[in-house]
Chains A and B, each alone.
Chain A
Amino acid sequence: MILRFEGVSYSYFGADTPALDGVDLNVHPGESVLVAGTSGSGKSTFCRACIGLVPHFHQGRLTGKVLVDGLDTRQHPVCELFRHAGLVFQNPDAQLFNQTVESELVYGLESLGMGPSEIEKRLAWASKLAGLDSLMDRPPHTLSGGEKQRVALGAILTLRPRLLLLDEPFTHLDPEGTESLRRILRTMKSEGITLIIVEHRLHEIIQDVDRIIVLHQGKIVKEGSPHQALAGEISAYGLNLPPLLRLFRAFGLNKTVFNVEEAIEELKTQDLLEPFSVLLSEQMTNPSNGFTATSDPIVEAEDIWFNYEGRSVLCGVHLKLRKGECVALLGRNGAGKTTLIKHLNGLLKPHQGFLKILGRDTRRTPVSELSRYVGFVWQNPNDQLFRPTVREEVLTGPKTFRSYDPVWCDELFTRFGLRPLLDRSPFSLSEGQKKRVSFAAALAVKPDLFVLDEPTAGQDEFFRHELTGFITRLREEGRTILLVTHDLEFAAEHANRWLVLSEGQVIADGPADEVMADSVVMAQAGLHPTQRFQLTQAIRQLRKGKA
């Protein structure tokens, strides 16, 4: 047994409820296990308990026993356990603390007092496995999110732990980065390393794992093979289910399917291809909520060019966003998405071309004026919280613009469930609550355009469900929404238009199904069609074949 939990309960110092509550678990060598659950279900505490940070680093009360590779974590300090079990933490920035990628990879080996020849051998192995050979001299802070994730993984791999844990490794990755990490994990599994992966985005990894453990309020509530664990009624656990499984459940089918082949097989068996196809095409027709191609333009961009450190980040971007539209801005990391959205309120000014917001040229209008018309909800809500109470935080914008509308703000407090939190410090809230505060704060000035930067990243199904409600409501109010996301399933559900960026250029602009049907564009942008789209295509092919 590589990992054994015997009746483990753990409560953080001062917490009312336990983070882990009577957990019993055995993990065998070479197994790959996916740990799922909502935010706050105890997943990260579970990871920390596996490498001894709980109880040695965190103050709290631990009962029961955790054995890692036969070592009782209570009796062995982290500095002994780290050669047996390694953890890749959620935030890559906070685990890269050396000057170069190479020194990052060898840090743990130097801690172990290894000789240069053994260090070289392990360095070569880990850098090849994690695909880091070309990055060895780079300072970690200059790397992309995906590269940082691979360095963090490589830094643990050099230690050759028998047990490797990854805490939400896919959160900040684009589809290509996700695929690359999946490849690395498959290789590691084939080398006999035991893997425990904590992840919200189940569909990214579900087909590669042997077992799923579902944590809920610190307890293991489901356990088994992916098909077993996700069978039956599991909606109470807030899991972000794989898209096809969600689709089947919505259609009233109980069979657990993870890929298109399984779905087609089941539909054929039950003779449901035809009605399912009708349902899919109905759902694909995204309601435009009164938006028409002749609606007033909110944003007009003409031939925008922008350079950064001698590199062209935006190259001749043309863009028009009309009133009432919901547009998804897609593309791989580094394609220019963030640069483009920062042009929407003048945070960045085009070096060539122009951009107008409601007729105002961003080159000649200050950000403080444009931000009245364009509301932003950034990926990290902590970037904006600074007021002593939630109420003051939400009212910061209206007070800055002297546009405080008490009725509207009251409506926002209710809509985002902030009433019980109004007098609390925003810093004391959970991440999901902070997101709701940032939504309300951005909407408080009644912006015409609402920009959501990676709204689903790292969020559980409960928040996704809330988010769906918020977006539907905004669309009903006729607001223009721009979604910047890697979550194509979410984009396909909500956006009536996809805008695809690649190397600073708009390479596709149209409805989701049209964009996904263009395999050249999808490959160029490093995107993969959604499972729902793939299923539709597969059914269509089958029907054509029959005809």
Chain B
Amino acid sequence: MKRSIFDPRSKLIMAFAATVLLMIFNDWDFLTASLGILVILLLFLYLGRPWLNFLKSLGFAVLTFFIIAWLAFDLHTGIVSGLRLLNIGTVFFLFFQTTPPDMLSNGLLKMGLPYPFTFVLSASMQFIPVLAHRARNIRDAQRARGIPIEGGLGILLHLPALVGPLLIQAFKFADELAEAMEARGFGISGRSFHYEPRFRWVDWGAVAISLTALTIALSIQFL
């Protein structure tokens, strides 16, 4: 995970501002230019290859979005819709690639959000690979019994063989996890931070620039 110089809170504000900007402009040239800037940023942070991997899943959604908007409206709307989704997806890809979930949850905690909420946010990211690993084990166990769940239609046809054991294990896992968290003082008030998030001058600067850009854009568009 790339560590960035910004506090997660300032990055969240920047991502939010970028999303609003991308939503209010309907010009494909603006969206293309912003995509170009994002790609330069990705390359600068050595995130080009992971982004290409990310595109494998996002690309399908972008294409679907483009086709639906094209068929429902026109080609211009299709291009703009596809580009917009690609841009917003890339903004949040950058955000999550440069923000460790525990830093994000600490930042949100500092913003006054309740601890259980911030914990669930970071823990859910932590357990995605764990549950994915379990799902692979279950799929292998069922395939080894002759159940053809190689992928695609096979998975759909034999969904209970995959989902049944996964759900049962997830419930059991959640129970065990709750016990372990309780035994390590989850939710006690007065929690401290090993690395305390600090809002420094770069963060104030970034927030100021983001909000100024947002205000100018909103003025141009709506006044």
Contact = CB atoms under 8 A, between A and B. Distances in A.
A505 B123 CA distance: 38
Contacts of A139: 126, 129
A103 interface: yes
Given A94-B177, A367-B143, A99 B183 contact: no
A368 B143 contact: yes
Given A93-B130, A100-B102, 4 more contacts: A99-B100, A366-B148, A382-B172, A396-B145
Interface in B116-175: 122-123, 125-127, 129-130, 133-134, 137-138, 140-148, 150, 160-161, 164-165, 168-169, 172-173
Interface string A91-130: 1011101111011001111111111100100010000000
A82 B187 CA distance: 13
Given A384-B145, A400-B147, A53 B122 contact: no
A138 to B, nearest CB: 11
B191 interface: yes
A4 B164 CA distance: 42
A111 B191 contact: yes
B3 to A, nearest CB: 11
B29 interface: no
Interface of A: 48, 51, 53, 56-57, 78-79, 82-83, 86-87, 89, 91, 93-95, 97-100, 102-103, 106-116, 119, 123, 139-141, 155-156, 159, 342, 345, 347, 366-368, 371-372, 374, 376, 378, 380, 382-386, 396-397, 400-401, 427, 441-442, 445
B165 A382 contact: yes
A442 B138 contact: no
A384 B165 contact: yes
Given A86-B183, A110-B194, A342 B147 contact: no
Contact of B191 (A86, A110, A155, A159): A110
Contacts of A397: 145-146
A500 B168 CA distance: 35
Chain B interface size band reads 35 or more
A82 B126 contact: no
14 contacts: A57-B178, A79-B187, A89-B180, A89-B183, A91-B173, A91-B176, A103-B194, A111-B191, A141-B133, A367-B150, A368-B143, A383-B142, A384-B145, A386-B161
Contacts of B196: 116
A346 to B, nearest CB: 9
Contacts of B185: 79, 82-83, 107-108, 111-112
Contacts of A400: 145-147
Nearest to A396: B145
B165 A386 contact: yes
In this complex, the member of B127, B168, B192 whose beta carbon has the largest number of chain A beta carbons within 10 angstroms is B192
A382 B146 contact: no
B184 interface: yes
A112 B190 CA distance: 7
A99 B127 CA distance: 9
A412 B133 CA distance: 32
Contacts of A108: 184-185
A97 B191 contact: no
A160 B111 CA distance: 31
B221 to A, nearest CB: 39
Contacts of A342: 140
Nearest to A83: B185
Interface string B189-216: 0111110100000000000000000000
Given A347-B140, A384-B141, A385-B165, A98 B146 contact: no
Nearest to A119: B194
Lowest 9 CB-CB distances: which A-B pairs, in order? Answer: A111-B185, A386-B164, A95-B180, A94-B176, A383-B141, A113-B190, A371-B146, A376-B144, A384-B141
B182 interface: yes
Contacts of A114: 192
A441 B129 CA distance: 29
Interface of B: 100-102, 122-123, 125-127, 129-130, 133-134, 137-138, 140-148, 150, 160-161, 164-165, 168-169, 172-173, 176-188, 190-194, 196
B169 to A, nearest CB: 6
Contact of A382 (B147, B150, B168, B184): B168
Contacts of B179: 48, 53, 57, 89
Contact of B126 (A83, A109, A112, A141): A141
A111 B144 contact: no
B139 to A, nearest CB: 9
A376 B180 contact: no
A347 B137 CA distance: 11
A441 B145 contact: yes
Nearest to A140: B126
A470 to B, nearest CB: 18
A95 B102 CA distance: 16
A357 to B, nearest CB: 13
A102 B125 CA distance: 17
A140 B180 CA distance: 15
In this complex, the member of A112, A383, A400 whose beta carbon has the largest number of chain B beta carbons within 10 angstroms is A383
A383 B102 CA distance: 30
A93 B173 CA distance: 9
Contacts of A115: 192
Nearest to B101: A99
